[in-house]
Amino acid sequence: MSTPPQGRAREKERAGLAEEAFLTVHRVSKSFEGVHALIDVSFQVKAGQIKALIGPNGAGKTTLLNVINGLLPPDEGRVALRGRELAGMKTEQIAALGVSRTFQLLRLFTVNDATVLDNVLLGAHKRINPTILGTLFLPGRSRHRERVMREKAMEALSFVGMNWAADRLPTALSFGNQRLVELARSLMSEPELLLLDEPASGLNDAEVEEFLQLLLAVRARGITILLVQHNMNLVMRLCDDIVVLDFGKWLAEGDPAAICANPAVIEAYLGAAGGGGSC
Amino acid sequence: MKLINRFWWMLVLVFIALYPPTIGGMSPYRSGLLIFVGIYVILAVSLDLLMGFAGQISVGHAAFFAIGAYVSGILTAKYGAPPAPAMMAGMALSAAVAWGVGRPVLALKEYYLAMATLALNEIVVTLIVGLQRLTGGASGLRDVPSFSVFGFSFDSQIRYYYLVWAIVVLVVASSLLLTRSPFGRTLIAIHSDETAAKTFGIDCAGYKIRVYVLSAVFASIAGSLFAHYMGFLAPDDFSVMTSINVLVMLYLGGIGTIYGPALGALFLKLLPEITVRLQDYEMLMNGAILILILVFMPKGLFGILTEIRSRLVARGSR
């Protein structure tokens, strides 16, 4: 990485932007009709790492993901991706910068008998960007591109082990399998940052294990991951770094061992959740 | 073979389009009826793009049917303009209205969107009645000439039949091409879950407005064809009742399938002819059909047809 001039570096430092930061959340606050969901939250995610966002129910974890990908505007503070300000951008614009996400309660496309393959193909929307005129007057070109995309979509499905379900309806699949399809759809968008909201909830132990291996393989592709997760066992084994929220406030940050040993975290979260054993 | 399989129902439409010479002529009464059917097929298919695929409710689609009809009618009957450019002017005005109205209105959802589209229909009808000098008002617009292009006049019933059904085939074919492409897939994503669609970079507002404009342009074409066939326009033909009639066609035939609404238009326009005595009860019949379809066969007539066909194919291959 090239070193920027001294002055600029200091200016960045002051703005809370350390140089190696891939994603920066800086002093973000958000409230809903007087309820403070996020209060002055700051942390960073380094490129190529898996970072977990943990905390008790109502700590503001999902709200934070929604702020990062533009579904909710922050009341105060900033979010930056590779130094680029995301505030004021629409969700679809942030998606175009390489941010993709999955949802706690699945959000697969199911209308008009859309198949699993259709869902995964929709992940590549930015690259396909279909238009009325292009579809009607350049059918050859769009058909060729569609063939290429189908191959890629099948690769993404194979990666998560769901290629057998390409022509099925998402609703006909088990919850765990639908999660895998959501992951394949997100990977199809070739993201740089993957936001995962409770990716292991609703999965059985074997499925959690499978998912963990998958996420390690995703990281190996160079994709940075920020995940919200309740399953502490998974978090401890998977993540490089953890940030803890409590009632909308930053409580602690550090590697798994440090978080396990942090008295404040144990009192606020780990002890109460009975998760002490998984540390 | 695969192509035939995919476009099987298209062959049925092409057959209807070529019907008169293949059978050796049909009575003027019947071909007149099928001209009406064709016009309503265009209208129903245009609404299916918007409602069945993009998932945006419109209870006022007759507004664009009216704009097409009256722009064609006024320009040709009052100003002696040639019909083809007049039709294009109607398409342009419909597109402009759809674009202007769509920006704010398509941000609404469900009941609110239904009410707003209904209001648009009412506004257009009120304008037609009010602008008496231009539109003839409640007493109607007379003497709309027959359609012609480059000096070739579609003045006989059989010629007009071919014109209308050629356009039907074009509209249905392009709608199929659109809905079975990545474009249609994108509309389905918006219909299914706008929030999730946005996180994959889909510009929901932009796609909704584009499909609304396209839908309005198709409806406008149907309106122009209607004007030149009737030769006389009255506001009653474009009321909210007409919009609801088209809605019933969608649900009767099977919404979100393109072919289904076409079938629904055929069925709903032919039914009163078969049971002439029921004609006075058209509104009652529409309501009854809508309720029965929604409760007992949500996939509509086309759903039943594809079911029968896939069973026959399965049996044949065994």
Of the candidates B53, B185, B256, which has its C-beta nearest A118's C-beta?
Answer: B185
Task: Band the pLDDT of A263: cuts 50, 70, 90.
Answer: confident
Helix (H) or strand (E) segment spanning residue A102: strand A99-102
With bands split at pLDDT 50, 70 and 90, how would you rate the model's confidence at A20? low
| Helix residue ranges per DSSP H, B140-239 | 157-179, 182-192, 194-198, 204-230
Paired sense of beta strands A193-197 and A35-46, if any = unpaired
Whether B103 has its CB under 8 Å from any CB of chain A: the answer is: no
Closest residue in chain A to residue B209, using alpha carbons only: A132
In this prediction the ipTM stands at 0.86
CATH of the domain at B50: 1.10.3470
- Evaluate whether A169 touches A108 at the Cβ level (below 8 Å): no
Look at residue B267 in the predicted model and tell me its pLDDT.
86
Q: How many domains does chain B have?
A: 1
Q: Return all residues near B276 (Cβ < 8 A) that are at least 6 apart.
A: none
Strand partners for A38: A30
Mean model confidence pLDDT for chain B: 88
Q: What is the mean pLDDT of chain A?
A: 86
Hunting for tokens 């919850």 — which residue is that? A175
Asked, for residue B17, whether it belongs to a domain, the answer is: no
> What's residue B306's pLDDT?
80
How large is the average pLDDT for residues A251-278? 74
**Domain contains B275:** yes
More confident residue, A16 or B180: B180
| Res. B180: pLDDT tops 70 | yes
Contact A95 B52 (CB under 8 A): no
Instruction: Give the integer Cα–Cα distance in Å for B315 and A28.
Output: 63
Specify if B7 maps to a domain: no
Q: Which carries the bigger pLDDT value, residue B82 or residue A140? A: B82
Structural domain boundaries enclosing B66: 25-317
Domain presence at residue B259:
yes
Give the range among A3-17, B206-220, B242-256 with minimum mean pLDDT: A3-17
| Nearest-CB residue to B202 (from A92, A131, A142) | A92
Does B177 sit within 8 Å of A139, measured CB to CB? Answer: yes
Give the nearest chain A residue to B203 (CA atoms). A92
Residue A34 has pLDDT above 50, yes or no: yes
- For residue B95 the two structure tokens come to 């597109």
Test the B interface: residue of A71, A89, A92 with most B CBs within 10 Å: A92
User: Which pLDDT score, from 0 to 100, does residue A276 have?
Assistant: 45
Beta-bridge partner residues of B144: none
B3 and chain A in contact, CB less than 8 A: no
Output the DSSP codes for A258-273: HHHH-HHHIIIIIHHH
Residue B126 lies in a domain: yes
Q: Is residue B230 part of a domain?
A: yes
Answer yes or no: is B16 within a domain: no
Is pLDDT above 90 for B71? Answer: yes
Contacts of A185 (CB under 8 A, 6+ apart): A108, A119, A120, A122, A123, A156, B200
User: What six digits make up the tokens of B250?
Assistant: 């969608």
* Residue of A109, A147, A194 to mutate, interface with B, max B Cβ within 10 Å: A109
Q: Is B198 on the interface with A (CB under 8 A)?
A: yes
Q: pTM of this prediction?
A: 0.89
d(CA B310, CA B305): 9
Q: Is the CB of residue A112 less than 8 Å away from at least one CB of chain B?
A: yes
Sort out which chain A residues have CB atoms less than 8 A from B193's CB and list them. 107, 109
Using a CB–CB cutoff of 8 Å, tell me whether A139 touches chain B.
yes
- Distance, CA of A173 to CA of A184 (rounded, Å): 14
Whether the predicted pLDDT of A37 surpasses 50: yes
**Amino acid letter at A8?**
R
Buried b (16+ CB within 10 A) or exposed e, B232-267: ebbbebbbbebbbbbbbbbbbbbbbbbbbbbbbbbb
SS3 A120: helix
Smallest Cα–Cα separation from A196: which of A215, A216, A172?
A215
Q: At what angle do helices A205-220 and A175-188 cross, to 10 degrees?
A: 10
- Shortest CA gap A119–chain B (Å): 8
The pLDDT of residue B169 is above 60: yes
In a domain, B6, yes or no: no
pLDDT digits 0-9 by tens, B84-141? 999 999 999 999 999 999 999 998 888 899 999 999 999 999 999 999 888 988 888 9
Give CA torsion, residues B206, B210, B212, B215, to 10 deg: -160
Q: Return the pLDDT at B21.
A: 54
